[in-house]
Structures are given as structure tokens and as C-alpha cells.
């Protein structure tokens, strides 16, 4: 099973779009995901402040700002 991390922040409409996409895809594909609020950690805020949302698949950065569902699934398959 693949692990997907989404670095995001409250009030970020792009973050909400990515999380909605993941919630729709998850029931049909082999991955789990969780969100990490960058504003809760000074180091993460400094690292990703201008890039959210940032999506990691199995520990590797895969997307920032926007995520295309088809490209996400292709990337997921490529990490098998």
C-alpha cells in the first residue's frame, strides 16, 4: 500500500482541491493518505510556505500547487 502525505494549511483553496481529489480516489486505489498542517511546525512552514499543497508519494515529492488525478494514478502505478 502506498503512503501519500499532503503538506497543507488552513484556508488554502488549492489544498482543499487536492484533499477532495484524494478522498474521491482512495476507495478505488491502493493508497492511504494523511494531511500535515505546515503552520503547526516552524520548520515545515519555512520549507513549504510558498509551495502548498505539496504531495509526497512514498516519501518522494510528486506534486505541488495542483494535482491532476490521472497523473497522480500514473505516478502511483510507477511507484509499485
Q: Among 32, 30, 26, 34, which residue's Cα sits nearest to residue 80?
A: 30
Q: How far is CA 35 from CA 5, 78, in A?
A: 6, 22
From residue 10, alpha-carbon distances to 20, 38, 53 in Å are 14, 9, 11
Confidence of residue 13 (pLDDT cuts 50, 70, 90): very high
Please name the helix (run of DSSP H) or strand (run of DSSP E) that holds residue 14, with its range, or none. Answer: helix 13-25
| pLDDT per position as a tens digit, 20-51 | 999 999 999 999 999 999 999 999 999 999 99
Whole-prediction pTM value? 0.93
Amino acid at each position: 500500500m502506498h503512503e501519500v502525505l499532503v503538506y497543507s494549511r488552513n484556508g488554502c483553496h488549492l489544498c482543499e482541491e487536492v484533499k477532495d481529489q484524494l478522498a474521491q480516489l482512495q476507495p478505488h486505489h491502493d493508497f492511504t493518505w494523511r494531511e500535515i498542517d505546515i503552520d503547526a511546525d516552524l520548520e515545515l512552514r519555512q520549507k513549504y510556505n510558498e509551495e502548498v499543497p505539496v504531495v509526497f508519494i512514498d516519501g518522494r515529492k510528486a506534486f505541488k500547487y495542483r494535482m491532476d488525478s490521472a497523473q497522480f494514478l500514473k505516478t502511483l502505478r510507477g511507484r509499485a
